[in-house]
Structure 1
Amino acid sequence: MTTNPQETTPNDWDTRSPDVQADQVAAYDAMRSKCPVAHDDYMGYSLLKNADIKYALEHPEIFSNKVSTRHIAVPNGMDAPEHTAFRAVNDKYFTPDRMQVFEPQIRQVVKSLVSKLPRNEVFDAMDGFAQLYAVRIQNVFMGWPASLEQPLIEWVEKNRRATLAGDREQMGKIALEFDGYIRALLDERRGADAAADITAELIQDVIDLPQDLGGPRTMTDEELISLIRNWTVGELSTVSACAGIILAFLAEHPQEQDRLRTSLAVGKTAEIAAAVEEVMRLQDPLVTNRRVTTQPVEIGGRSIPAGAKVTINWASANRDEDAFEDATTYNPHRSQENNLVYGQGLHVCPGAPLARLELRVLMEELLATTDLIEFGGANPTQNAVYPAAGYSKVLTRIS
């Protein structure tokens, strides 16, 4: 019989409790000071300190990304050398040259969406705008049809609910539904009149695997679907959260709005980029990632056995007082050396260049086409619950 290494470990908290979910950021801040490596049955050992998380990221041979033996996850659920080969193909789609070519397309999408926002009336930014913003940019980037927008929005919401409920049977059905969308897109791009887009390129890409792993080859459909799922699901949920986080931040800081509008008017776009980076640090759009230990390890003063589930808590790491002076205070001119919004090391977020571009353009267009962004009414925000980040409601008024 195989023993679960966490069965006899006492719990320090319950990450799914109403108290934690009511305000995840505050709960993680509080636990970080009391118990920097906190255990519970759902997340296993949560690493909450910036330095401890950096150690885990720097030692993938101890903290493995291969957390599932049932499903492949390309490339984020792989370890080297397999990860290295798949990541090389992944990264060629997020080069500076590609981002420069794609920027006008992103800006056109964002301009159109922002221009349709209601003026001088209260609306919920999370209901319609945030999700549509994420899906539409993703579709344009991948070369997918507009008819896929609504199914993807609905799919993301179904997936979120099933994940929150821990309903593995439903999660499996939802995953198969997504696979069906992607298989259809792949089949269309194998025809004689196939569109020349990223999805079509991926079909032809060669993974330069070492000989002991089979040698160079193209990806299987299962691998293609997994890679595309990683891009799509990761981007849609986090970028949607980012839209709400940015709008809520601007509404809460009218003086910073004015400063950034002035910077934008004189072409200082670096100020916008710096503001986005700091806003994301304060309220990370991705709460956690998983790891599994390959050997016993001591970290943060705690002994963790081999085979244990470990959770990297990005939201906590980026508000760590030992990593940032006045960590919970907005300061766009601070050093971002310890900012782990996009991770670090071998598994640094592959889509970081695209995310930074999307968010900079979003903030630029919001500021350029408005005079004031403010909250609408009492209790204008409602915190999202795990696995989502940011807000589930942002009541906003723009003029």
Structure 2
Amino acid sequence: MADAPRKPDWNPRKEAVLKNQITAYDAMRAQCPVAWSDFQHWTLFRHDDVMRVLKDHQTFSSAVSSHLSVPNGMDPPDHTPYRQVIEPYFSPQAMSQFEPACRTIARNLVSSLPEGQSFDVVETFSRVFALQIQCAFMGWPDSLHEPLRKWVLKNHQATLARDGHAMADVAHEFDGYIHELLETRRQAGASAPRDVTTSLMEETVDGRTLTDKELTSLMRNWTVGELSTISSSVSSLLCYLSEHPDLKQRLANDTPALPDAIDEILRMDAPLMSNRRVTTGDVEIGGRTISAGETITILWASANRDERVFGNPDAFCPHRNREHNLLYGAGIHVCPGAPLARMELRVLLEEFLSAVDTLVPAPDALPERAAFPTGGFRYLPMIISKR
């Protein structure tokens, strides 16, 4: 006899949840911290439960997808050599070399913002910054900005809908962009640009160069992560600073405080909602029994607001909360690109705060929150005045 259908504890795709994910997750963390749903399967809302998963990659595997995912969807020992390949691309030296280009992009974008009139931060600023900065870092042409902008939106829609055919089409479209970039460099031979993409093509794992399939997977993971989370981060940061003008002024006068402030604001308002794992054996978490082979959603947006760890989750306390902040994850899969993201956001805010005097919500339009799986905003109307 087949098992009876499992009764959902909540509906992550309910309109009220998607409209304000943070409020919904705060409530679930108190009411049902380990919850089942048809969409997310098992969802973990508490910091301690999430940390347990992150520290035990043997019980909670990252090999969730049936498709190759380098290195996010790998466990040791397969994960280790790929991680060793990519970490140097985010070294202090690499960040120092890329920072001038990042600053030029940020400064030009800030200078182009309209003064004294409403503009959408997401469409005009945060999404454009993410696209330009990712292409500049990878060595990709400006002609990819618009196709990638549309691709990110299609990827988001397909993921939210859990539309397998649409997700496959989106992946195939991205594969085509990468294939063209790789072929262009191969045809150029020794004249190929000495950029991150060319360098990755020359990397080796277990004594061989990376395959096109591995390169495409790696670059897709980097691109999805960068374009979605950087854009979400920028919108959340500017919204918070508009609501806290005193903090905005303090940071303008004390830019060394920016890195901790950025991490803390994004702890409260997560740019990336979640990641997934799959159980390799039966486990018990929070009084719930989870069988082997089940998918677990670790909800960063909730764990980083857990009152048991952070007290009042909306209290701005960067130094107190730094040690437990899961903005960039933890364990063997802690985000390798964290140094790049931190540098990009710091530089962007340095340029923004040095040029912008006032930042206020537009009075004639309401902001709209982004829906799972991204955070931040999908529409954020603001008005600025410049110094």
The two structures have a TM-score, normalised by structure 1, of 0.94
Residue of structure 1 in register with 2:201 after alignment: 203
How far apart, CA to CA, are the structure 2 residues paired with 1:261 and 1:85?
41
Are 1:63 and 1:294, in contact at CA under 8 Å, matched by a contact in 2?
yes
Residue of structure 2 in register with 1:241 after alignment: 232
TM superposition shift of 1:378 = 4.9
TM superposition shift of 1:128 = 2.6
Residue of structure 1 in register with 2:244 after alignment: 253
Alpha-carbon displacement from aligned partner over 1:15-60 (angstroms, at most 9, x marks no partner)? 1111211110000000001111111011011011001100000001
Alpha-carbon displacement from aligned partner over 1:257-289 (angstroms, at most 9, x marks no partner)? 11111213xxxx2x1111101011001100010
Residue of structure 1 in register with 2:48 after alignment: 51
Residue of structure 2 in register with 1:96 after alignment: 92
Are 1:380 and 1:396, in contact at CA under 8 Å, matched by a contact in 2?
no
Query: Alignment identity in percent?
Result: 47
TM superposition shift of 1:164 = 1.7
The two structures have a TM-score, normalised by structure 2, of 0.96
TM superposition shift of 1:325 = 2.3
Residue of structure 2 in register with 1:15 after alignment: 12
Are 1:38 and 1:46, in contact at CA under 8 Å, matched by a contact in 2?
yes
Select which of 151, 171, 180 maps to 1:175.
Answer: 171
How far apart, CA to CA, are the structure 2 residues paired with 1:373 and 1:333?
26
How far apart, CA to CA, are the structure 1 residues paired with 2:147 and 2:225?
16
Select which of 21, 24, 28 maps to 1:27.
Answer: 24
Matched, 1:345 2:331: yes
How far apart, CA to CA, are the structure 1 residues paired with 2:254 and 2:142?
35
TM superposition shift of 1:379 = 5.1
Select which of 275, 286, 293 maps to 2:261.
Answer: 275
TM superposition shift of 1:331 = 2.2
Alpha-carbon displacement from aligned partner over 1:220-272 (angstroms, at most 9, x marks no partner)? 100000000000111101111111111111111111111111213xxxx2x11
How far apart, CA to CA, are the structure 2 residues paired with 1:222 and 1:181?
13
Alpha-carbon displacement from aligned partner over 1:206-232 (angstroms, at most 9, x marks no partner)? 113xxxxxxx21111000000000001
For the aligned residues, what is the CA RMSD?
A: 1.4
1:219-234 maps to which residues of 2 (within 5 A)?
219-234=210-225
Alpha-carbon displacement from aligned partner over 1:132-189 (angstroms, at most 9, x marks no partner)? 1001000110011111111111111111112222221111111111100000101111
Are 2:260 and 2:322, in contact at CA under 8 Å, matched by a contact in 1?
no
Are 2:264 and 2:321, in contact at CA under 8 Å, matched by a contact in 1?
no
Counterpart amino acid of residue 150 in structure 1: E
Helix, strand or coil for the counterpart of 1:276?
helix
Residue of structure 1 in register with 2:362 after alignment: 376
Helix, strand or coil for the counterpart of 2:357?
coil
Residue of structure 2 in register with 1:105 after alignment: 101
Are 2:158 and 2:164, in contact at CA under 8 Å, matched by a contact in 1?
yes
How far apart, CA to CA, are the structure 1 residues paired with 2:262 and 2:106?
16
Matched, 1:298 2:284: yes
Helix, strand or coil for the counterpart of 1:127?
helix
Counterpart amino acid of residue 14 in structure 2: S
How far apart, CA to CA, are the structure 2 residues paired with 1:41 and 1:321?
27
TM superposition shift of 1:366 = 1.1
Helix, strand or coil for the counterpart of 2:368?
strand
Alpha-carbon displacement from aligned partner over 1:92-119 (angstroms, at most 9, x marks no partner)? 1111111111111111110001110001
Helix, strand or coil for the counterpart of 1:76?
coil
Higher helix share: 2
How far apart, CA to CA, are the structure 2 residues paired with 1:261 and 1:353?
22
Counterpart amino acid of residue 182 in structure 1: I
Matched, 1:120 2:116: yes
Alpha-carbon displacement from aligned partner over 1:319-341 (angstroms, at most 9, x marks no partner)? 00011122222223323111001
Matched, 1:79 2:75: yes
How far apart, CA to CA, are the structure 1 residues paired with 2:70 and 2:318?
34
Helix, strand or coil for the counterpart of 2:319?
coil
Helix, strand or coil for the counterpart of 1:392?
strand
How far apart, CA to CA, are the structure 2 residues paired with 1:94 and 1:274?
19
Are 2:70 and 2:218, in contact at CA under 8 Å, matched by a contact in 1?
yes
Helix, strand or coil for the counterpart of 2:278?
strand
Helix, strand or coil for the counterpart of 1:46?
strand
How far apart, CA to CA, are the structure 2 residues paired with 1:383 and 1:351?
25
Unpaired runs of 5+ residues, structure 1, are 209-215
How far apart, CA to CA, are the structure 2 residues paired with 1:45 and 1:157?
26
Helix, strand or coil for the counterpart of 2:321?
coil
How far apart, CA to CA, are the structure 1 residues paired with 2:343 and 2:286?
35
Matched, 1:62 2:56: no
